[in-house]
Amino acid sequence: MENHWAELIVVLIKCVFSLAFVMQIVPILIWAERKVSAYIQDRRGPNRAHIMGIRAAGLVHTLVDVVKLVVKEDIIPDHVEKGFWFAAPVIAMSVALTTFTVVPWGDSLLLPISVTSLWGGTAAMEIPLQVAQINGGMLFILAIGSLGVYGVMLAGWASNNKFSLLGGLRASAQMISYELAMGLSVAAMFMLYGTARLDQIAAQQAGPIWNWGIFGVLNSPSFDPLVLIGWVVGGLAFLLFWTSVFAETNRMPFDLPEGEAELVAGYHIEYSSLRFALFFMAEYAHMIVGSAVTATLFFGGYNIPFLDGAAIRAHSDLILMVLGFGGVPVSLAFAFIAWRRSKRPFYRALAKNDIRHREPRFFISMWTMSALSALGLGVVGALGLVGGTVLGPELLAFALQTGSLFIKVLFGTFFMIWVRWTLPRFRYDQLMDLGWRAMLPTAIGTIMLAGVWVIVREAVHAV
Amino acid sequence: MTLPVQRPRSFLERLFIPEILRGLYITLQHGLHNLFHQDQPTVEYPDMRRVMPDRYKGAHRLTTRPDGKVKCVACMCCAQVCPARCITIEAGEDADEPIEKYPVQFQIDMLRCIYCGYCVEACPKDAIRMDTGIYEINSFTRQDMIHDKAYMTDLMDGKKPLAEKFYRDQPDQAPAGFDGTQDRVVSVDDSRGL
């Protein structure tokens, strides 16, 4: 009983951390969306706004956007259905953030000097790095994720506007169609994992890369029918799930709800200022959570391939050394790139006293400092200062595993952006055709294959 | 209503996935090329400029005689030929015997000018030219958009046929932001098949 307050505090900290995890990626994504789209289309992308001459490749534009959205007039049209209209962006945003609570971002953190000991406990405190450990974690994501359509639908209906309504209608039809394929592909993965708890799912994928869900979750790399079926099930389930994630997040090939060519902007026409920003952020939060869930289901979650939590803890000094000494040349290479960029014709075209001449100098010094700190990290590892401590390996494991999930999420969201600037939008009938006549049967077939997998496993391996 | 268009498609094409991967490969090529080479055809305008071709019709200027007087003899040919009726000339009598006539006022309303260049063609004295290469013709008031005789005579300090060329020859007189060291025509690499 005396531990409850400590647990509450820990859970609150974890809530803040998971919120920060999602929200810190949003500005990066807004920037990446612009820059990636620009580079794919042979443009330069945002590069004008600067703070004291530091343009940071257009990252400042994201900050400027936030200021713009905050100080903009919040227009509330007379004709909207006030209650639902106010609620819609909040629903969209909170749903996107809530789903992240069951995604684990590291295996348990063992704190030897536990918070509980302040209340008289003595045992080391084991903190699962996940806000909520729910038995049906994936089902929770499906349940909450499908609530997201309410935000879009309510916005569309309450805006009292033909285009918004059409956008909301499309969103609801699309989400219902693709939720089916999503749920069924996840069901196939449940059969492979034998659990719906995301922390257990992630833990099963620790170790070598062929333990990942997309390769059919096997703890031994042997070539029997089981492996082959596992590959097919994992691959198919991933394709279906990932496509459905696109549809659920209203990303490009499936962004009919806001198809600007037909519907102006779809469900968020009537929203301005921070309310619009909420929808905007909700879309990116959805992308992040979708990528995180996909990473957890198919790409090992927080696990680093061939390096599970125990290995990180055992070899923390070696890892620090490799990371540190490896980071030095990488940082220096970036410093060199920054120096080379300073020779670009652009900087020669600037006036002598232009404030933007600071930028290459700033980045050269930043990357040099980064190289120095990497060197320091490597020295710490080489001296073996971390492995002996109780807290050090734990924190290193936490940092590396969370970083691993972070990188996977970044790659997933980059992939979404990349697809957005590659594929054209589906027509509505094509969308329905793909959802009901292609993805749903494939998903059912995947489940059957997964059933075969379970039978073969029980027959051959007698597990 | 949608009309189904029958296209012969192979099984792999109907699967979409190989085709999607092909498209992704193309866009990734573009993205990575631009990330590493930074050779987009974009001209970063206020900081960098394209050099205008020699025959580009820019802002008008009035040419001068060696003694500094404008060459214009106020014959009104340009004002007559101007399809936009934007040239206003007020003629006056010049004390200098062979010249006789000169423009007391010579105004061009740049808001009405359509940059057709007829005035240049019509001029018998080569007194008006559009060879400045200046395309930033703007101001905060309408009044300032009416270029008068003094403005057009001084436009190039009476000595610059092409601003870019002049500043490249005399970099010490160049305005802030001008890069005299290299040709600022941004060329697009056609070998990429863009």
Reported in sequence order, the residue ranges of chain B that DSSP labels E, i.e. its strands, are 61-62, 87-93, 101-109, 128-129, 146-147
Q: Which residues contact A59 (CB under 8 A, 6 or more apart)?
A: A27, A31
pLDDT band at B159 (very low <50, low <70, confident <90, very high): very low
Q: Which residues pair with A54 in a beta bridge?
A: A51
pLDDT of residue A219: 57
Q: Is the CB of residue A355 less than 8 Å away from at least one CB of chain B?
A: no
Which of A41, A353, A417, A422 is most worth mutating to test chain B (most B CB atoms within 10 A of its CB)? A422
**Residue A144 predicted with pLDDT over 90:** no
| Residue A114: CA count within 13 A, CB half-sphere | 18
Please tell me the distance in Å from A208's CA to the nearest CA on chain B: 27
Q: Are A103 and A130 in contact (CB under 8 A)?
A: yes
For residue B30, list chain A residues with Cβ-Cβ distance below 8 A.
39-42
**Closest Cα to residue A198, out of A305, A295, A102?**
A102
Q: Is the CB of residue A40 less than 8 Å away from at least one CB of chain B?
A: yes
Please tell me the distance in Å from A48's CA to the nearest CA on chain B: 9
pLDDT of residue A367: 93
For residue A349, list chain B residues with Cβ-Cβ distance below 8 A.
44, 47-48, 177-179, 184
pLDDT band at A257 (very low <50, low <70, confident <90, very high): confident
pLDDT band at B193 (very low <50, low <70, confident <90, very high): very low
Cα A258 to Cα A163, A303, A339, A362: the distances in Å are: 9, 36, 43, 40
Q: Which chain B residue shows the shortest CA-CA distance from A40? A: B31
HEC secondary structure over B43-92: CCCCCCCCCCCCCCCCCCEECECCCCCECCCCCCHHHHHCCCCCEEEEEE
Q: Percent of chain B at pLDDT above 70?
A: 79
Q: Is B91 exposed, middle or buried (0-12, 13-18, 19+ CB in 10 A)?
A: middle
Helix locations, A264-315, DSSP H: 273-298, 309-314
Using one digit for the tens of pLDDT, what is the confidence trace for A37-68? 999 998 888 888 888 888 888 888 988 988 88
CA A423 to chain centre: 21
**Which range (A121-130, A322-331, B29-38, B76-85) has the least confidence?**
A121-130
**Collapsed DSSP state (helix, strand, coil) of residue B129:** strand
pLDDT of residue B189: 35
Please tell me the distance in Å from B180's CA to the nearest CA on chain A: 8
Q: Do B179 and A349 touch (CB under 8 A)?
A: yes
Q: Which chain B residue shows the shortest CA-CA distance from A348? A: B179
Using one digit for the tens of pLDDT, what is the confidence trace for A302-330? 888 888 878 888 888 888 888 889 999 99
Q: Is A155 exposed, middle or buried (0-12, 13-18, 19+ CB in 10 A)?
A: buried
Number of other residues whose CB lies within 10 A of the CB of residue A5 = 13
Number of other residues whose CB lies within 10 A of the CB of residue B56 = 16
**Residue B95 predicted with pLDDT over 90:** no
pLDDT of residue A407: 92
Q: Do A421 and B27 touch (CB under 8 A)?
A: yes
Q: Which of A43, A239, A422 sits opposite B23 (nearest CB)?
A: A422
Q: Which residues contact B130 (CB under 8 A, 6 or more apart)?
A: B57, B58, B59, B60, B61, B115, B117, B120
Compare A421 and A121 and report the one with higher pLDDT. Answer: A421
Q: Which of A44, A349, A422 sits opposite B42 (nearest CB)?
A: A44
Please, what is the angle between helix A316-341 and helix A391-420, to 10°?
40
Mean predicted confidence (pLDDT) in B67-78 = 88
Q: Which chain A residue shows the shortest CA-CA distance from B45? A: A346
Q: Can you tell me the ipTM of this complex?
A: 0.81
Q: Do A354 and B177 touch (CB under 8 A)?
A: yes
pLDDT of residue A110: 74
pLDDT of residue B116: 92
Q: How far apart are CA A106 and CA B154, in angstroms?
A: 72
Q: Which residues contact B12 (CB under 8 A, 6 or more apart)?
A: B18, B19
Q: Which residues contact A182 (CB under 8 A, 6 or more apart)?
A: A142, A240, A241, A244, A245, A248
With an 8 Å Cβ cutoff, the interface of chain B facing chain A consists of 2, 17, 20, 23-24, 26-28, 30-32, 34-35, 38, 40-42, 44, 47-48, 176-179, 181-182, 184, 194
pLDDT band at B58 (very low <50, low <70, confident <90, very high): confident
Using one digit for the tens of pLDDT, what is the confidence trace for A187-244? 888 888 888 888 888 888 887 887 787 877 665 555 566 777 888 888 889 999 999 9
**Closest Cα to residue A251, out of A139, A412, A105, A31?**
A412
Sign of the torsion angle spanned by Cα atoms B138, B140, B142, B148: negative
Residue A58 gets the label, from left (phi > 0), alpha (psi -120 to 50) or beta, of: left
pLDDT of residue B181: 47
Using one digit for the tens of pLDDT, what is the confidence trace for B167-189? 666 666 665 555 544 443 333 33
Q: Is the CB of residue A422 less than 8 Å away from at least one CB of chain B?
A: yes
**Which range (A151-165, A213-227, A349-363, B7-21) has the least confidence?**
A213-227
Q: Are B87 and B119 in contact (CB under 8 A)?
A: yes
Using one digit for the tens of pLDDT, what is the confidence trace for B8-54? 778 887 778 888 899 999 999 999 998 888 878 887 777 777 767 77
Q: Do A351 and B176 touch (CB under 8 A)?
A: yes
**Residue A114 predicted with pLDDT over 60:** no
Mean predicted confidence (pLDDT) in B121-144 = 83
Q: Do A40 and B181 touch (CB under 8 A)?
A: no
Residue with tokens 């309450």: A158
For residue A345, list chain B residues with Cβ-Cβ distance below 8 A.
48, 179, 182, 184
Q: Do B44 and A418 touch (CB under 8 A)?
A: no
pLDDT of residue A136: 81
Q: Is the CB of residue A424 less than 8 Å away from at least one CB of chain B?
A: no
pLDDT of residue A210: 79
How far apart, in Å, do the first and last CA atoms of chain B sit?
Answer: 36
**Residue A372 predicted with pLDDT over 90:** yes
